[in-house]
Structures are given as C-alpha cells and as structure tokens.
Amino acid sequence: MPRRRIRTEPIETTESGHLTEFLYDDFENDETIICAAHAGRVEPGTGELAIELATRLPAASCWATFGFDDEVGAYERWHPVSKSFDPDGYPLLDVVADRGFETVVSIHGLGDDEVLVGGRVARDAKRAVADRFDDALSIPARPVSDGEYGGTHPENFVNWLAADGAGLQVELGGTAREAESEAALDVLEEVVRTD
C-alpha cells in the first residue's frame, strides 16, 4: 500500500479568518474515508477526531475543511449545509470524489449534548452504532433518519462519496468531542473495522 500523505489547500481568506481544505490520502484508497467538513472553530474537535480515526485505520483517507474567523464567527462564516459541498469548489475533495468508497463516515459537532447517528446507511446499522455510543458514553445516542441531522439527502457528500450511496453521518455533542473523545473514537474505530 502506498504511503499516506497530507495535503492542504487554502479555499478562502477574509480579513478576519480563513478556510483551509485538508486531505490525508495515498491517492489510491477506495476502502474508507473519514470526513469533517466543518472542522476548526466551526464545529470544534471534529477535525481532530477525523484525523485521529483515519490514522488508527490501516486503509483510510481523511478529508476535512478547517474554518477560522475571529470577527464574524467561524460557524457563521464557514458552515455550508452538507449537501452543498461540490468538488468544483474544493480541489482536495475533487481528488477523492470519484473513487466510490466502501465506507464513508462524516463527523459533525452538535450543540445539544447527545449523539445522533444518521446518513443513508440502513436503519439497523444506525441503531447498532447508536447503541454502541449509548453504551460507551455518558450522553444519550439515537439514530435519526430525517430532519436537520438525518443526513439522508443523496447530495450530502457523505452519501455521494460512498459507492452504494449510503454513508454514515455522526453528530457528536460536546462531551463526545471533548471529555469522552477517546471513548467516541474507540466506538467509531470499532464500527469501521467491523463494517
């Protein structure tokens, strides 16, 4: 297997902040990709979790964007909805866009202190992942299939990156991204390795 490398690309710079794209990849892998489209100060902790998870796995890539803005606020400036990510605007996403990954996991931050498991993967799979989080963390976890956090839209990047059109979107509350991040990583690693 070729060695994985890190690449970054500046996407946009303003007077008070910037958005940078990140890719950890061997430029051949089509097994697993871990994503954090709203990393940096947009949804704090998500980028670090995605990178850590990808480095724990023998054949995984990681794609993320890291947004920072001290004046407007990173969330306000750099938080497009997940179905609006297009490879034309993100050159490193374009590098992996056509591979058809077997497993796609997208890590997001959630304001409420709970875990929501969505995406277009089967309901049984979402329930099983939510149960693992529920057992491992002190905050509740539940599957979602609709609404703002359902992640089921076919244009959501977590789904179109997947060969079968069904990715796993995980919304993590603050406890899962901070105090219990190691336990959250253990759950995600187990999920990917047994997928």
CA 101 to chain centre: 14
Q: How confident is the model at residue 1 (pLDDT cuts 50, 70, 90)?
A: low
- Which tens digit of pLDDT belongs to each residue from 63-96? 999 999 989 899 999 999 999 999 999 999 999 9
From CA 51, how far away is CA 23, in angstroms rounded?
9
- Which tens digit of pLDDT belongs to each residue from 27-44? 999 999 999 999 999 999
Place of tokens 């297009």: 86
- At 71 the three-state DSSP class reads coil
Nearest CA among 103, 185, 96, 104 for reference residue 137: 185
- Which tens digit of pLDDT belongs to each residue from 139-184? 999 999 999 999 999 999 999 999 999 999 999 999 999 999 999 9
The residues, any chain, with a CB within 8 Å of residue 71's CB and separated by 6 or more, are 15, 16, 17
- Which tens digit of pLDDT belongs to each residue from 89-125? 999 999 999 999 999 999 999 999 999 999 999 999 9
Q: How confident is the model at residue 2 (pLDDT cuts 50, 70, 90)?
A: confident
From CA 116, how far away is CA 28, in angstroms rounded?
31
- Which tens digit of pLDDT belongs to each residue from 10-25? 999 999 999 999 999 9
